């Protein structure tokens, strides 16, 4: 893969990671507000949103690491050079 394509793939994965982090942070702040002022149903809903955002963030971390490993010629599953 050309160097420019490698850079773009890593950049795309990094931007997706940063975007999901901002969403996660926003969900946490909204959850904190619900803990102070929300109903029990609101708290449950916002807690679920936080958990979902955290899972998406972890998925984006995995995506970035896998992209970097694949571009470096490492099989992400076996962790061996190809």
To the nearest whole number, what is the mean pLDDT of the chain? 94
For 38, the token pair is 């929300």
Residue 25, in any domain of the structure: yes
Neighbours of 9 (CB within 10 A): 16
**CA dihedral defined by 73, 1, 17, 61, rounded to 10 degrees?**
-10
pLDDT digit string, tens, across residues 16-42: 999 999 999 999 999 999 999 999 999
Q: What DSSP character marks residue 28? A: H
Q: Is the pLDDT of residue 1 over 70?
A: no
Q: How many domains does the chain have?
A: 1
Give domain status of residue 44, yes or no: yes
CB-neighbour burial class of residue 28 (10 A; exposed 0-12, middle 13-18, buried 19+): middle
Structural domain span for residue 21: 3-71
Name the pTM for this structure: 0.85
């Amino acid at each position: 893969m050309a160097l420019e394509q490698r850079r773009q793939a890593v950049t795309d994965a990094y931007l997706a990671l940063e975007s999901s982090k901002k969403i996660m942070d926003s969900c946490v702040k909204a959850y904190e507000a619900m803990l102070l002022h929300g109903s029990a149903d609101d708290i449950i809903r916002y807690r679920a949103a936080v958990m979902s955002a955290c899972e998406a963030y972890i998925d984006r971390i995995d995506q970035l690491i896998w992209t970097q490993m694949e571009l470096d010629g490492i099989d992400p599953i076996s962790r061996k050079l190809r």
